[in-house]
Amino acid sequence: MPLPKNEYVSNVWKDGIFANKVVFCTGGAGTICSAQVRALVHLGADACIIGRNAEKTERMAADIATARPGARVLGLGDVDVRKPESLQSAADRCVKELGGIDFVIAGAAGNFLASMAQLSTNAFKSVMDIDVLGSYNTVKATMPYLLESAVKHRTDGKTPPANGTGGRIIFVSATIHYTGAPLQTHVSVAKAGVDALAHAVCIEQGPRGITSNVIAPGPIGSTEGMQRLSRAGSTATQGKGLPSGRWGTVKEIADATVFLFSDAGNYVNGEILVVDGGAWHMPSTGPGQEFQYPDFLLSDAAVTGVKGGKKAKL
C-alpha cells in the first residue's frame, strides 16, 4: 500500500540525491528496514531487499516501489543471512539486475524476551547467528561491490560529489547493551558484537573509502520489535517517562539513514547514531520493564503477552 511521504521520510532532503544508486538491505521486509529503504527509494535509489519469508519480502518490495514512479525494487525471499552462499547469490543477483551496490543496510535481527532460565544454548546461538554472523556474512557478500562504489564516489569533503555518494554500510543495532537489560542476554551480547563489527569495518575498509556506521534505534512504535518487547497497550501511554515522552517513529530512523548515506554524512565513520529520544539514559523506563525486576526473574517463568513467545515442544 503506498504510504504518505510524511510517514517514512521528512521534507528536508532533496529529491534525487540517491538517483542511480542501489541499496541492498537484509531484513528489508521488516517495519524499520522497509521504512529506511522506502526513504532511499523515494529520494532516487533502486533497492534489493532480502528476507526469509518469500511472500512477505516480495510483497514489501512491490509496496516500497510505490514510493517513486519508475523505482526498481527487488524482493528476494528464501534468503537466510545465516547462510553465506544464499546471501552471496542474492548480492550477485542484485548487481546483475540493478547494476551495483552503493549502500548496504544490515538489518536482519532476531529478538524475543527470555530469562537465562528460559534461554537454551540453541536459542542464544540463533540470535548470535542471525545478528552477528548474519551481519558478517552481509559484509563478506557485499564488500567487493561496496568497494567498487567507494572508488567511484570518493569525496574530499569540499567539492560536492558530481555523482553522489556510495560505498557505505549501516548496521541496525540497539541500545540495551549499554546498560544491560533483563530478559535480553542473547540480544545484548549479539548487538555488542554487531557494534564491534561495524567499527572493524570502518577501521579496515575506511582507507578504501568505505564508511561503516551503526544506527541504534530505541523504542519505535508500530514495529515487530516492540510487539516482541513490550506489552504496553495504548499509544497514549507508550513512551511516557522517556526523555522525549513518546516512542519514536520509523520515519525518524529513516531520516538518520538518509543523513549517513548522504553528502551530509561523509566524514561520519565508525560511529553509533542513537535514535531513541534519550531512552537509554533512563533504562528503567524502557521496554520490558513491565516484567517486574527482580521478582519476575526469581520466578523463572516464561514471558507471556508479547509476540515471539517460546513455543511448547510438541
Q: Rule CB under 6 A: which of 108-137 touch ligand COA?
A: 109-112, 114, 118-120, 122-123, 126-127, 130
Neighbours of 265 (CB within 10 A): 20
Among 75, 225, 248, 277, binds ligand COA (CB under 6 A): 225
Residue whose CB is less far from ligand COA, 91 or 109: 109
**Minimum distance from residue 36 beta carbon to ligand COA (Å):** 14
Q: Rule CB under 6 A: which of 287-306 touch ligand COA?
A: none
Residue whose CB is less far from ligand COA, 104 or 190: 190
Binding of ligand COA by 145 (CB under 6 A): no
Residue whose CB is less far from ligand COA, 281 or 310: 310
Q: Rule CB under 6 A: which of 226-265 touch ligand COA?
A: 228
Identify whether 191 is a catalytic site residue. Answer: yes
**Minimum distance from residue 111 beta carbon to ligand COA (Å):** 4
Residue whose CB is less far from ligand COA, 22 or 130: 130
Binding of ligand COA by 308 (CB under 6 A): yes
Neighbours of 192 (CB within 10 A): 17
Binding of ligand COA by 218 (CB under 6 A): no
Residue whose CB is less far from ligand COA, 122 or 234: 122
Q: Rule CB under 6 A: which of 91-110 touch ligand COA?
A: 109-110
**Minimum distance from residue 113 beta carbon to ligand COA (Å):** 7
Identify whether 10 is a catalytic site residue. Answer: no
Residues contributing to the site for ligand COA (CB under 6 A) = 109-112, 114, 118-120, 122-123, 126-127, 130, 224-225, 228, 308-310
- Residues with a catalytic annotation lie at 173, 191
